[in-house]
Amino acid sequence: MKRLSRRTFLAASAAVTASPVLGAPSSSIDFDVIIVGAGSAGIAAARRIYAAGRSFRLIEASSQIGGRCITDTSIFGVPYDRGAHWIHMPDLNPVAKLTPKPGFDVYAASAAQRLRVGRRNAREGELEEYLGVLVRSNRAIADAARGKSDVNCADALPKDLRDWRPTVEFVLGPYGCAKDLREISAYDFAKSAERDVDAFCRQGYGALLGKLGAAVPVTLATPVTRIDTNDRLIVETDKGRLVARAVIITASTNVLLSGDIKFTPELPKRQLDALNQLKLGSYDHIALELIGNPLGLQRDELVFEKSETTRTAALLANISGTSLATVEVAGKFGRDLSAQGEPAMVAFALEWLTDLYGADVKKAVKRTHATRWNAEPFARGAFSAASPGGQGARKTLMEPLRDRIYFAGEAMHETLWGTVGGAWESGTRAAEAILRKMGVLKEIEDPKDKPRAKEPSKPQPRRKG
User: Which is nearer to ligand FAD, 165 or 413 (by Cβ)?
Assistant: 413
Q: Can you list the alpha helix ranges (DSSP code H) found in 192-317?
A: 205-213, 253-258, 269-277
Q: What is the DSSP letter of 216?
A: S
Alpha-carbon distance values, 203 to 106, 107, 179 (Å): 8, 11, 29
2 exposure class (CB count in 10 Å sphere: 0-12, 13-18, 19+): exposed
Shortest Å, Cβ 390 to ligand FAD: 17
What's the closest the beta carbon of residue 69 comes to ligand FAD, in angstroms? 4
**At its nearest, how many Å lie between ligand FAD and the CB of residue 238?**
10
> Closest distance between ligand FAD and the C-beta of residue 118, in Å?
28
* Nearer residue to ligand FAD within complex by CB, 357 or 378: 378
Residue 136 Cβ, how far from ligand FAD at the closest point, in Å? 26
Site residues, ligand FAD (CB under 6 A): 36-42, 59-62, 67-69, 83-86, 88, 223-224, 250-252, 255, 260-261, 283-285, 371, 373, 378-379, 382-383, 409-410, 418-421, 423, 463, 465
Amino acid at 120: R
DSSP structure class, residue 68: T
Q: Which DSSP helix (H) or strand (E) runs through 448? A: none
Determine phi and psi for 102, rounding to 5 degrees.
Answer: -75, 175
Q: CB-wise, 138 or 428, nearer to ligand FAD?
A: 428
In whole angstroms, give the CA distance from residue 294 to residue 35: 46
84/397 with CB nearer ligand FAD: 84
| Strand, coil or helix: 4 | coil
For residue 25, what are the β-bridge partners? none
CB of 235 to ligand FAD, least distance (A): 9
Q: Minimum CB separation from ligand FAD for residue 363, in Å?
A: 28
Instruction: For residue 115, give the DSSP letter.
Output: E
Nearer to ligand FAD, 62 or 320 (CB): 62
Among residues 61 and 92, whose Cβ is nearest to ligand FAD? 61
Query: Nearer Cβ to ligand FAD, position 122 or 184?
Result: 184
Q: DSSP for 370-435, please give it.
A: E--GGG-TTT-SS--PPPTT-THHHHHHHS-BTTTEEE-SGGG-SSSTTSHHHHHHHHHHHHHHHH
From the CB of 383, what's the least distance to ligand FAD, in Å? 4
> Burial letters for 366-379: b for 16+ Cβ neighbours within 10 Å, e otherwise?
eebbbbebbebebb
**Closest to ligand FAD by CB, 218 or 365:** 218
Contact 301, 318 (CB under 8 A): yes
